[in-house]
Amino acid sequence: MYNKRFIIPGLAILVLIVTFPLWFNAFSKASAVPKPELPPGGEKQCVASIPEMRASHMVMLNEWRDAVLRDEDRVAVTVNGKEYRKGLQMACMQCHSNKEKFCDSCHEYASVKPYCWDCHLTPAVLATKKETH
């Protein structure tokens, strides 16, 4: 003799328990991998494709620095018809204005600490400077 009323919930609970590692993993991974916050200005495109940016934004920044400092080449990059001068503050941070929620969210996850901000100012720091002066 068995009672139908208990079989279905019983099976449901069993399925949940058996598949626990699967969905637990999915959930914990989803919360661990950062979702960098996209530009608040509503821009839709970066200076290069996303795979390119993910793989080599550090290389691009070095190339830009060399272009600006060694060759005085500040030629603008054009994104969606709008011009940005090559630079960390002058391009990247104009769109990605929240370093903490964008750059840092990934870097903390990847355990990288770019030293750039020893000298370059983040938009947040710039804002406090403007307030106090």
Q: Which residues bind ligand HEC (CB under 6 A)?
A: 36, 38-39, 43-47, 50, 53-54, 57-58, 60-61, 64-65, 68-69, 79, 84, 87-92, 94-96, 102-103, 106-107, 110, 112, 114-116, 118-120
Dihedral Cα 102, 106, 112, 116, nearest 10 deg = -10
Nearer to ligand HEC, 32 or 119 (CB): 119
Q: How far is the CB of 128 from ligand HEC (least distance, A)?
A: 19
| Residue 123 Cβ vs ligand HEC, minimum distance, rounded to whole Å | 10
Distances (CA, A) of 80 to 48, 93, 98: 11, 17, 21
- Find the shortest distance in angstroms from Cβ 72 to ligand HEC: 9
- Between 13 and 129, name the residue whose CB sits nearer to ligand HEC: 129
Q: How far is CA 118 from CA 101, 102, 121, in A?
A: 18, 18, 8
CA–CA dist 100, 108 (Å, integer): 10
Residue 25 or 49 having the CB closest to ligand HEC: 49
CB 43 within 8 A of CB 95: yes
Residue 124 CB, nearest approach to ligand HEC (Å): 13
Nearer to ligand HEC, 90 or 126 (CB): 90
∠118-124-129 over CA atoms, to 5°? 80
